[in-house]
Each structure stands twice: as structure tokens, then as C-alpha cells.
Amino acid sequence: MGHQFKVLELYSGIGGMHYAVEESGLSASFVAAVDINEVANSVYKHNFPSSMLLQRNISSLTPKEVNALKPDVIMMSPPCQPFTRVGLKKDIEDGRTDSFLHVLAVLPELHSVQYVLLENVKGFEISEARNKLISALEMSGFSHQEFLLSSHNFFIPNVRLRYYLIAKRSPRKFCFPISSEVMTSFPFSLYSPEREKIVGSSCEVLIAELQKKLHDIFNLHTEDLLCETFSIKKILESDLDENQFLVSSKTLAKYAQILDIVTPESKKSCCFTKAYGHYVEGTGSVLCPFSKELIHQTFEKCKDLDEKSDEYTNLLRNLHMRYFTPGEIARLMCFPPNFSFPQSITLKQKYRLLGNSINVHVVALLFVLLVHEE
């Protein structure tokens, strides 16, 4: 594929979409990134200092401004709060959807745009915002495919179920049979170590080679490949001040029974949200360096103790449970090793920004799927 894609990133955040396009290996230039969040923009600028970054409300973008950039790809991850399971689910009545509705309103006037990739939370697929998205795409001559995919489906030890949509303007066609239903699996087989030679369509070959890159990113060995999903230990930081990330005694006393505890040998972790480290339930897993057997034995002993007692808390403290670091979460979300935060960003801000971001590898695969044409 010799074409160089011109990408416009909307709701660019900390640059997940940018990294995804880079990981895809396809030739692309980034005409602009747009986000209103000042903190997220500081991280984006830190990692992509030469990119054009516009800090402004996306509702203020005019068709004339966008057409002057001549993008052929729009990638976006609009605010998810109107659709989340813990939100009020006000959908298009939530003011945070206004800028997204503006994008849909001007889409028919963006004549250079040939491809669209969108990411959001599970729940978006049953929203009125989704219905308006599909209507705008069809009105503008796009065909589309929707997905509900988790990073765990791609052998990554993290469950992050997300809605994705890829769309391309007619007469361009997809390299796989599209469906009116939301797909819950990837349309091509992913790389298997037992297959010495990858065969199939050129798109399938590109997808498989990109999946193989994942093994290089995490420095996986043959035995890891044979297990498919690799273990948590592959993303852990070795040089770490553990005390900074230990779960507090107060949290242990009150919430130990609802913690999702994983070990270095675990091959699954919960989705990390922007509230990680601040709230406990449903915000992400915590790490224990010991075996599942020892964890189970400890909790069995705790059953006979008063949760308010020092003995109860001390038993749990002996498990050395800690929060994952922002760097470890970034690795689980497949950000490359060269990704970093500016020194000015606080720990709480790091967790919030990562919780609002994307899995880079999954979007890279979908980008290849989107733009490839047989």
C-alpha cells in the first residue's frame, strides 16, 4: 500500500490513536490533533512535539478549516461518560455529546474524508448517539462495520471491552464480509506460533504480522507464545518503590473483600478506569506478588476475624497488595516503551488520562482493517 494517509485526530487525548497508526506500520501523516483537555494536551505535546495540536472545543471546528487540512482519515474517541454503566446515561441529552453531534452534522461537507475510526465504551452501541452516527455515515456515502472487542481477545492480559466502528466511503470496499450486526470477534485469524508461514489474503497477512509485533513489544519467548495470552509479569516494573503504590490499611479494612486481586502469573486483569487509585470497586485490579493459594489461605483466616481489628488488617498487609503503576497500565494498553508523561503530571492525573485512553494495539489492527483494500 503506497498511499500516505492523512489523519485528523479528534479527542486526541494522550495520543493513543497516533501511536496506533504508527504501530500499524502504514505510511501516514498527522494533519492535526484536537482536544480541549489541557492536561491531556500537555502529554500529547510531550510525546509528539512536532505535531500540530489544537487546544479547542471541537464544536468550533468549521468544515472550511477541516477541508483545508485535507484529511482522508478521521479517528476519534468521543467522551464516554454519557454512555458508561456508572454514569447517568443521558446520551445525547448530556452536554458532553455536543461536540460529537457537531462532527456528525458537518461530516457530509468533509469531502476529503474517506475513512472513519471511532472508539467508545460498551453501551454506545445501543445509544441514540450511535443511531445519529450511522445516519450521518450513510447520508455521506459510507459503509461501516461495528465491533465489541476486548484487548483480552488479542492475547493481552487485560479485559477492556470497547465499542469500535470503522467506516469507508463508497466505492471503497472492506477486505472482509461486513455484517449489519455488531461483530464480537475479529474477522481474521490472529498469528499462531504453530503456523510457520502465514497464508491468506494480503490483509490477513498484514494483520498476522502486526499481531506478531506484539510479541516483540513484550519481549515474549516461545513458551509465552504457546500459552497465547501472556502473563502479567511481562508488564511489571522491576525498579519500583513499592511503598508508593501499596493499598492502604484503611482501604484493606473496608474494601478487601471486593478487590480484584491478580498475581504476576495471572493472565487477566480488570479494565482500568479513570478512577483507579481513588475508588476501589470496578476501577481495576490490584497486584499481589504471592501465589493465589497464599491469597486464598489469608482470606480464609480473615473470615474468623473482626474486619475492624488490627489483626485482620495486618494479615492483609502481609500480602503486599499494591496498585499497578501508570507505566504498567500503559504497557497493558500497549503504549510503546518510549511513551512517557511530563514531570508536571500528578499520579492521579496519570490514572485519569490512561483510564480515558484506548488500547493501542487493538486500534492498530482495526486501522489496518479499515484502510486495506484488496
Is residue 227 annotated as part of the catalytic site, yes or no? Answer: no
- Rounded Cα distance, 272 and 202, in Å: 35
Q: How many CA atoms lie within 13 A of 166 on its CB side?
A: 24
* In the block, residue with C-alpha cell 472492506: 174
Query: Phi, psi at residue 39, to the nearest 5°?
Result: -70, -45
What is the length of the chain?
374
Which of 80, 203, 288, 334 is labelled catalytic? 80
| Separation in Å, CA 305 to CA 249, 294, 312 | 15, 17, 6
Question: At residue 3, what are phi and psi to the nearest 5 degrees?
Answer: -70, 140
- Nearest 5°: phi and psi at 37? -80, 115
d(CA 162, CA 122): 5
Pull the grid cell for residue 199: 497464508
Buried b (16+ CB within 10 A) or exposed e, 110-148: bebbbbbbbbbbbbbbebebbebbeebbeebebbbbbbb
Q: How many CA atoms lie within 13 A of 255 on its CB side?
A: 18
Rounded Cα gap, residues 347 and 207, in angstroms: 35
CA angle 135, 138, 142 (to 5 degrees): 135
Residue type, 215: H
Q: Contact at 8 Å (CB) between 325 and 19?
A: no
Active site residues: 80
